[in-house]
Amino acid sequence: MKVKSFSYCAGGFLLAFAAFYILGRAIPAADMTPLSIGLYCALFYCGKNYFALSAAFFGGYCLAGWDILSLIDAASAVGVFAAVKLILFKFRLQPKIPAMVGAAFLSMLPRFFTALFTQGVAVRGALSLVLNTAFCAACCIACFALFVRKSARLAYDEYLSCALLLAALGMGVYSFDLWGYKPYFTVICALCLLASRFPALPGAGICAAFSLGAGIYTRDMAAVGAALMVWAAAKCFRGQSKVFAAIAAEGIYLVCGYVMSAFPPFDTLNICLAAAGIAAALLVPERVQENMCKALFPQGTDALRYAAEREREQLFEKLGGTARMMAGAAAEFEAGGAEPDIVQAACKDVAASVCSACGERDKCPDLAGLEMFKRAIEKACRGEEIGADDFPMFVISKCGALDKLAQECALAARKVNDARKKRAFALQSGAAAAEQMRSAAAVLGRLAAKVGKTGGIDEEAGERIKDELGYNNITCLAAAVIGEGEERRVTLRLRKGDECKRGVEKAAEGALGGKVKRVECMPAPGAVTVTYAPREKFLAAFGAAGAVKEGSDRPGDNYSVTSVGDGRVLASICDGMGSGSIAAEESAACLTMLESYCKCGFEKGAVPALINRFLTLRGGEKFCALDACFIDLNTGAAEFIKLGGVESFILSGGAVKTVEGGALPAGILDEIKPVYAHAALKDGDVLVLVSDGITDALTVHGIEYALTKIESGNPQRVADMLLAMAQKSGMNDDGTVVAVKIFSGD
């Protein structure tokens, strides 16, 4: 939590003291209660420090009134709100505006009865109670919007409440009269010049509201019109420079004073001090004024939104282009190119090494065709011995280098066989690369589609969330609602400590239209960023149990239950061939590849082929039986993929459904055909995956019978008891049981 400095706290205390003092002088009519209690009630509602707030209020209020009634007012307000603070702390309640206004009303009753019994003031006392109670409500709305909600977009009631608070401050400032000097004129002139830097409507509203207090105090609304004229003059010349704006404001001030008598007393002292206020505002650096304007009236984010949309479109094009390129490359790899005539090239090599040095080569017909050596080379490629009758008759009758020809043909045959093996390996590798690139292209294509859908930031929904959270005393610094359908996300930047409040999740549920889950929580100094996504229909819990084969240092089985994104859970068992460290390493590597491919977004059907290709290309007698099940928590659908995996079981309502196993383990053949199966899970179902050690010990029918006798409420209990039964039945291999139970997320 960010620690505030002493100077910051002292400045806030003095500012509050001054505001209470000014509002303590704001009395609409004689014998009425000042308006300070309204601001005290509002700042208490906004969660400000009670002790510092009460000290500032007590001092400022009593200094402004300096009589017994002011002391009674201040003491009763501090006492009543101390009781409210104690009640809120005791019962851990959040303050509400009606409760705060009621407390303020109670705090003003002692003064009302005191004035009633001592001075007989009844009508004005009752009017004072009503007026101050309404002002308390307005102050609570205004201060909460400014200090807690911190929203750039205010509601109509918040605009009205801010205007009433400004009018009360203007009334208090106008009440000052220091030896004929009215500080109000200095403040209003400086305010009009500074407000000319603001947008038109807010600037005019600020000046009108502040001057309205003076109009109420003097019972003359000419002050409001005069202030608006001064502001309008400054606004018109603001485009030229702030110096021209200051001159225009001073000129209109003089005109209004002389012609309209809008600023009484209009004498030389007040004219000079009003000019001093304009000069003081003129000396405020333009950069400071600009920063103040941005802080009070944040500009729209059209340019930022345009830039974000442009980046999203460019990313969409790049991802789509890369996906198309990889798909094309996969087709090229799979085709392998045209097969070269390796035998003809070998014939050329034989002719170059033997016939080129022969003096009778011109007499040999069709030497360029090289067909005379093809039969011999192909025979040698099959591993047969080359004889004289493998050459054409004219070669046998005329060539004196038959032995050398036979040797060269045998050597060429070995080269042909080596070339064919290399090409076969290259084609096999190309097929593997093609499969990987095609799967990667599919992943990139889906990412491109997702990027295309996640455009369109719902600004209205974001603003509604900020407003809703603000009204529940939760400070939301920023809110974004992005995406469509299941990809829709709500990201909130909250005041530290507010992220655990129930109202945050409730607001996210309203934006997403259903139950939500928190997928991210990133702390930062003084703030926390949280992201919510739609909650899946089902939740999952799992249990696992395993045992090592007697005499082995490590089990050859490995298992995993993990989320692979998009509301899917992968439950899998991988059984390496044999037992011990080597089998464990192979099964762990196979399981890691399975998880990595799935989390990256590869299609489920392509993953087994990729794993099998990887294991076969590595060579060696390293095989793995893979049993995997993908559970979609949004629908309850379960998809089984088995490569040498044994049967799986679904325990549902006391009955057991068996999912058949099969297929060869991964790594045996270049091409495999996994066994696929589908099932629909419902609330309370338990999925059970086992390795072959369990089925060998219990048999399939034995496992089915055992599962009907096991209490299925706890998946860990299911796994433990099934393993114990297998061990009791003489299990002599590594054994692993994984049980996954799904249940409704509502």
| CA pair distance 461, 211, nearest whole angstrom | 37
On whether the CB atoms of residues 553 and 580 are closer than 8 A, the answer is yes
**Local confidence band at 711 (pLDDT 50, 70, 90 cut-offs):** confident
Using the predicted structure, report yes or no on whether residue 1 has a pLDDT greater than 50. no
Q: Is pLDDT larger for residue 133 or for residue 451?
A: 133
| Domain spans, the chain | 10-162, 176-297, 321-453, 459-534, 538-744
The yes-or-no verdict on residue 210 having pLDDT over 90 is yes
Per residue in 314-351, pLDDT tens?
666 766 666 666 666 566 555 655 556 677 777 777 77
Helix (H, G, I), strand (E, B) or coil at 31: coil
| pLDDT for the residue 12 | 87
Of the pLDDT bands very low, low, confident and very high (cuts 50, 70, 90), residue 155 is confident
Mean pLDDT over each residue of the chain, to the nearest integer: 79
In this prediction, residue 149 has a pLDDT band, given cuts at 50, 70 and 90, of confident
Write the CB contacts of 66 (distance below 8 Å, at least 6 apart in sequence).
none
Q: Architecture of 10-162 per CATH?
A: Orthogonal Bundle (1.10)
- pLDDT bin (cut points 50, 70, 90) of residue 307 is very low
> Greatest CA separation found in the chain?
150
Q: In this structure, which amino acid lies at residue 243?
A: V
Find all residues with CB under 8 Å of 241, minimum gap 6, and list them. Answer: none
Nearest-angstrom CA–CA distance, 238 and 423: 80
- 303 pLDDT band, cuts 50/70/90, is very low
Read off the pLDDT of each residue in 675-695 and give the average, rounded to a whole number. Answer: 88
Whether the Cβ atoms of residue 722 and residue 709 lie closer than 8 Å to each other: no
Please tell me the predicted confidence (pLDDT) of residue 217: 85
pLDDT (average), residues 478-501: 79
Average pLDDT, integer, range 119-128: 76
pLDDT over threshold 90, residue 79? yes
* β-bridge pairing 686-690 and 648-652: antiparallel
pLDDT of residue 165: 92
Main-chain dihedrals φ then ψ at residue 434, nearest 5 degrees: -65, -40
Quote the CA–CA distance of 504 and 644 in Å, as a whole number: 48
Q: 456 or 88: whose pLDDT is higher? A: 88
Mean pLDDT, residues 494-512 taken together:
83
Name the range with the highest mean pLDDT among 265-274, 332-341, 429-438.
265-274
Model pLDDT, residue 55: 94
Element (H, E) at 571: strand 568-576
Whether pLDDT at 4 is above 90: no
State the Cα angle at 138 between 206 and 475, rounded to 5°: 90
Checking if the pLDDT of 395 tops 70, the result is no
Which residues fall within 8 angstroms of residue 424, CB to CB, at 6 or more apart? none
State which CATH number among 3.40.1160.10, 1.25.40.10, 3.90.1280.10, 3.60.40.10 fits the domain covering 538-744. 3.60.40.10
Stretch 547-558: mean pLDDT:
80
Tokens of 288: 């400071």
Q: What is the mean pLDDT of residues 294-319?
A: 59
Query: Mind listing the pLDDT tens digit for each residue in 103-116?
Result: 999 998 888 888 77
Strands (E), 587-724: 624-632, 637-643, 648-652, 655-659, 675-680, 686-690
pLDDT digits (tens, 9 = 90+) for 29-71: 766 778 889 999 999 998 888 999 999 999 999 998 778 888 8
- Closest alpha carbon to 39 in 11, 10, 60: 60
Q: What is the distance between the alpha carbons of residues 519 and 299, in angstroms, rounded to a whole number?
A: 31
Q: Percent of the chain scored above 70 by pLDDT?
A: 77
Element (H, E) at 566: none
Residue 296 has pLDDT above 50, yes or no: yes
pTM of the predicted protein model = 0.53
3-state secondary structure of 576: strand
Contact 360, 398 (CB under 8 A): yes
The more confident residue out of 459 and 309 is: 459
Mean pLDDT over 650-672 rounds to 73
| Residue 209 confidence class, pLDDT cut points 50, 70, 90 | very high
At 618 the pLDDT is: 54
Q: Assess whether pLDDT exceeds 60 at residue 223.
A: yes
Is residue 672 within 8 Å of 614, Cβ to Cβ? Answer: no
pLDDT at 369: 46
The percentage of the chain sitting over the pLDDT mark of 90, rounded to a whole number, equals 14
What is the per-residue pLDDT for 304?
A: 45
**Sign, Cα dihedral of 385, 390, 394, 395:** negative
Give yes or no for a contact between 213 and 173, defined as CB atoms under 8 angstroms apart: yes
Query: Cα separations (Å) of 457 from 155, 341, 423, 517?
Result: 22, 60, 53, 20
